[in-house]
Chains A and B, each alone.
Chain A
Amino acid sequence: MDKTIVDILQQAGLLIAELWLLILAVAVLLLDVFSKRKRGYLTNALAIAGIIINFYFIYTTSQKYPIADQATFYFFDSLAVYRYTYLFQFLFNTSALLCLCLGMFGRDNKNVRRGEYLALIIFMLLGLHLLAKPANFLILYLAIELISFSAYMLTYFNLNKWGTEGSLKYLLFGAFSTACMLYGISLLYAFTGSIDLEALQQIVMQTDQVASLLIVGLILVGLVFKLAAFPFQGWAPDTYEVAPTPFVAFLSVAPKIGAVFIITLIWQQLDAINTSSQFLYYLLSFITLGSILFGNLGALWQKKAKRLLAYSSIAHTGFLLLPLFNNSTNSMEPLLFYAFIFMIMNTAAFAWVYFMEVRLKSDKIDALSGCGKVQPFVSVLLLVIMISLTGLPITAGFTAKLFVFSELWQSISTTNTLASIVFIAGLINVLIALYYYLKFPYTAFFKNPPVTTLPFVLNVRQASFILVMTIPLIVFFFKPDWLLVLIESLS
């Protein structure tokens, strides 16, 4: 046989998780066609089971293609296994699983086109799996486009008028930014003749500053858009508001963390040379400070829970990027800790909003009023989630922010003054965030509902979902080393 084919067959095991997801998506679509009368129950069960099985495939891949400190390359240098590849795949998979589980709760009016919805989420997960191991820009581009296209369509899946509007705006923004990114990649190819991620080093060393900054900047545009970070955050509130809420819980976490991973990869390439790093720090502090400030200030005036959480997730993006200021190699650990906690608390918050929507058909924060008197225990869980999103003690949100800020503190003492400005601004913003996050528990406990309406209550299943999501937030505050051990064992 041809040597190329032999090579490909030998390395095909690396893609077993991705292949499984592809098969799963097709199976879900087929099952949906043949079991239309059963209200999508079977399809849902199949998708959830498939994603749980996918954990096993990630595990076997990690055994067969072990991680090393340096990246190992496969498929003619187009895919790579980085130190954190499997960890990120695990994160994405968990996020998708939570999203599908959450979707089980509101099936009453959302059973239309259940199969397509699930298949698109699985395709998005497939794109995210590829995003965890790109070695060149072609794979990166394809992964990002796969994620984006699925997301554009999923935004419309509430199947109403506003869904189309949010979807259209998301699509126009998204297509524009990926086109910018693609032009950056093509310029990179023009100057270096290579589409590998390593070509970034070459371009910064060989060409003059303006050209290399233009290229790096253009490539960052696409990624920052996926992040919904500062200059390209405009789509986030509108899109989050009209999209199906379980999907938003996925969209606001997984692609964001994936984009952060790619930015860290690019950062490692550029940091290795250290020539234009001063400018890059200016750019980074612009993005982080901008998104923290914009997210927090935008959230202050929101009346609707989903919109508020959209702005809050923009602010969290800034915090996710803070560890990048420290250019030592272990800066991934606080980032990963933050990513894990962010996933849990954000999903919990969106779950709460989703239950409100299912029951009340609205997501106004005022609808919570009186909830604390009827269901004190569940409302305390809401308080815990919101305190965790703010980043105050006895929740893991505090631990995560503590790690991030202590890492930043170290880089202040070693490198630059820019970090100190970011440090102080970040701390002030935690205080601003306190105001709008506490709106939820405040409304629940202290406001009286209008006499005509009954207060909002959760049923037992919904409350237990919230409880399961809240327990880790408290456990990881007292035992952060448990999560660190998990991170350590996967990387």
Chain B
Amino acid sequence: MITIIILLCTENLKSILFGFSASVLLTLPLAMFLPEVYLFTSLFLFSAGISVFLVKKNAIVMLIGIELMLNAANLNLVGFNQLYAAQANGQAFSLFVIVVAAAEAAVALAIILKVYQYYNTAEPDDINEIKEQ
């Protein structure tokens, strides 16, 4: 199923946007807890993240894809915490994930900045000098 979603997403950006807004619209008016909605929305986010990571050329956009994947995990953690409300395990976990993701972005952007200074591009496909060194 993931592959189908990936295929759907990679067709064009429009379908990503459409699917995303559709899933947001589905989730917002929920008064009661429907596990499937969280599961499928997060699955969608995760697959979109993977496809962005695989399809896009620019390192910064690839990082955005990774960010989507992390947020898919967050959505699961926070959403399903309603089901296990006795402990706030999931919510606490997601806080850690958010902080770690911010740190990751800081490290990654610093490295990408350096790459850009040396190579004048931030596209990993164009940067291939180690083997010819």
Q: Which residues of the other chain, A, contact B42 by a CB distance below 8 angstroms?
A: 183, 186
Complex: how many Å from CA A172 to CA B119? 17
Q: Which of A159-167, A247-255, A401-409, A471-479 contacts B (4 or more CB under 8 A)?
A: A159-167
Q: Which residues of the other chain, A, contact B114 by a CB distance below 8 angstroms?
A: 156, 164, 167
A residues adjacent to B (C-beta < 8 A): 137-138, 141-142, 145, 149, 152-153, 156, 161-162, 164-169, 171-172, 175-176, 179-180, 182-183, 185-187, 189-190, 193-195, 238, 241-242
Contact of A172 among B49, B62, B76, B93 (CB under 8 A): B62
B107 touches A194 (CB 8 A): no
Q: Which residues of the other chain, A, contact B72 by a CB distance below 8 angstroms?
A: 183, 186
Once A152-B111, A179-B69 are accepted as A-B contacts, the answer to whether A165 and B130 lie under 8 Å apart by CB is yes
Complex: how many Å from CA A141 to CA B107? 17
Complex: how many Å from CA A182 to CA B90? 12
Complex: how many Å from CA A405 to CA B70? 40
B115 touches A168 (CB 8 A): yes
Once A165-B115, A241-B130 are accepted as A-B contacts, the answer to whether A187 and B49 lie under 8 Å apart by CB is no
B130 touches A162 (CB 8 A): yes
Contact digits for B97-115, partner A, Cβ 8 Å, 1 yes 0 no: 1001001100110011011
B residues adjacent to A (C-beta < 8 A): 35, 38-39, 42, 46, 49, 53, 59, 62-63, 66, 69-70, 72-77, 79-80, 83-84, 89-90, 92-93, 96-97, 100, 103-104, 107-108, 111-112, 114-115, 118-119, 124, 127-131, 133
A168 touches B76 (CB 8 A): no
Contact of B59 among A149, A162, A168 (CB under 8 A): A168
Q: Which residues of the other chain, A, contact B103 by a CB distance below 8 angstroms?
A: 145, 149
A161 touches B119 (CB 8 A): yes
B89 touches A194 (CB 8 A): yes
B129 touches A165 (CB 8 A): yes
A189 touches B66 (CB 8 A): no
Q: Which residues of the other chain, A, contact B77 by a CB distance below 8 angstroms?
A: 186, 189-190
Once A152-B107, A182-B70 are accepted as A-B contacts, the answer to whether A169 and B124 lie under 8 Å apart by CB is yes
In chain B, what residue has the closest Cβ to A169?
Answer: B124
A189 touches B104 (CB 8 A): no
- Measured CB to CB, the closest approach of chain A to B56, in angstroms, equals 11
Question: In the complex, given contacts A190-B76, A238-B131, what are 9 additional A-B residue pairs having Cβ atoms less than 8 angstroms apart?
Answer: A149-B103, A152-B108, A167-B111, A168-B112, A171-B111, A176-B66, A183-B72, A193-B84, A194-B84
Contact of B133 among A149, A162, A175 (CB under 8 A): A162
A171 touches B108 (CB 8 A): yes
A166 touches B73 (CB 8 A): no
